[in-house]
Amino acid sequence: MNIAVIGTGYVGLVSGTCYAESGNEVICVDIDPNRIAMLNEGKVPIYEPGLEELVRRNKAEGRLQFTEDTAVAVAQSMVSFIAVGTPPGTNGAADLSGVFKAAEQVAKTVTGYHVVVVKSTVPVGTNDKVREIVTRNAKFQVDVCSVPEFLKEGSAIEDFMRPDRIVIGSLSERATAILKEIHAPFVRTDNPILVMDPRSSELTKYASNAMLALRISFINDMANLCDAVGADINSVRRGLGADRRIGSSFLFPGIGYGGSCFPKDVQALVHTATEHNLDFALLRAAEAVNARQKRLLPFRVKQHFGENLEGRTFALWGLAFKPRTDDMREAPSIVVIDELLKAGAKCQLHDPEALDNTRTLLGERDGRLSYHRLNYEALHGADALLILTEWNEFRHPNFQRIKAELKQPVIFDGRNLYDPDLMKALDINYYSIGRKPV
């Protein structure tokens, strides 16, 4: 089938590439000429494992194209997926201007029956507004549907090609049949295609991310309680996760969630509830816990070294909000770095993929931030090491080399990567989350 994807950000590029990989002919559109030029050269502007290889292969085999011209893409397609960004506004509401503009452009350029699919994460009722825009501007019959994405950065290709479920929000049998056909290759193992009304599909996306955010905030608060009473969060987590009604996913304590989805979607859901005179106190509490958790490691550092960190230098391993991505949006590392700098410290930063994005975001801060391609290089002369992201290459480091590079053997582990018994055997002062310090 011929498909247009409007927007080549994270969701649009992954979606368009995976639709092409399953045999469709896909044209991806973006208003950024530099981005389109880069993609036409086979270069991917984001880091996502496996994506660049798929883009190059499908482009070489003629199934994937990139253009700035929406009209050209839509004219060649029966289905247009809108996958533009919906950033949060100052009040927490999602900015839908990009979605509405894309819908209008598509509607004005359709040349026959067409299906417009909103894949961007949007508040309840957006599909209705898009349908109004399309009806007002289209000269042909156009059905408007929703197919929300459920991708995890770092495993987006796998998530798209083998989803737990596909959700289709549709009021049209014709459009539903077309969308089922497009998505059938991804559910050959009998995972469900769930067809529902568009408002329910829009809310399903927000509800999914909000539930995961709640689990993360819950286990982080439990970790803090373990600290207070002398319990071990790893033992509590295993006992909790063994209950089949609960499960173990997203019950790993740390320094808070970040990224482009959880913070934005939780805020948007709270805002939607407020618009309908409802107080989503549970989600507001999850936000508060997450904000507090991001400041936990600097608090521990100050407990160990004192409130004034003038003259201190700290090595930070891991900057992206999660491993296997270069995404710095809402990353806990930003808060950690700001807190350390405010206390007078310097930071030596390392991340396998997010170093350039961090430099662009934070700069040099008058020479108080330095950037290091090699993880051990970042350790040299530092007073302590802080682990902020659980990259695999950090899980089994050379601890003797860490001790040799640091001024003193101190590790603040925000992801509980290391065994406290091993740290004790190696004479390393070790602070983790929800476990007794060594």
Give the other-Cβ count within 10 Å of 426's Cβ. 16
Q: 77 near 4, Cβ under 8 Å?
A: yes
d(CA 331, CA 274): 26
Q: What Cα–Cα distance (Å) separates residue 117 from each residue in 87, 157, 175, 212, 376?
A: 19, 20, 9, 25, 47
Query: Which pairs with CB-CB distance under 8 Å and at least 24 residues apart come from 393-396?
Result: 393/352, 394/317, 394/318
Is 347 an annotated catalytic residue?
no
Q: 417 near 387, Cβ under 8 Å?
A: yes
Q: What Cα–Cα distance (Å) separates residue 73 from each residue in 13, 25, 133, 180, 212?
A: 15, 11, 19, 22, 36
Q: What Cα–Cα distance (Å) separates residue 100 from each residue in 70, 116, 133?
A: 14, 12, 7
The catalytically annotated residue of 18, 28, 226, 261 is 261
Active site members:
261
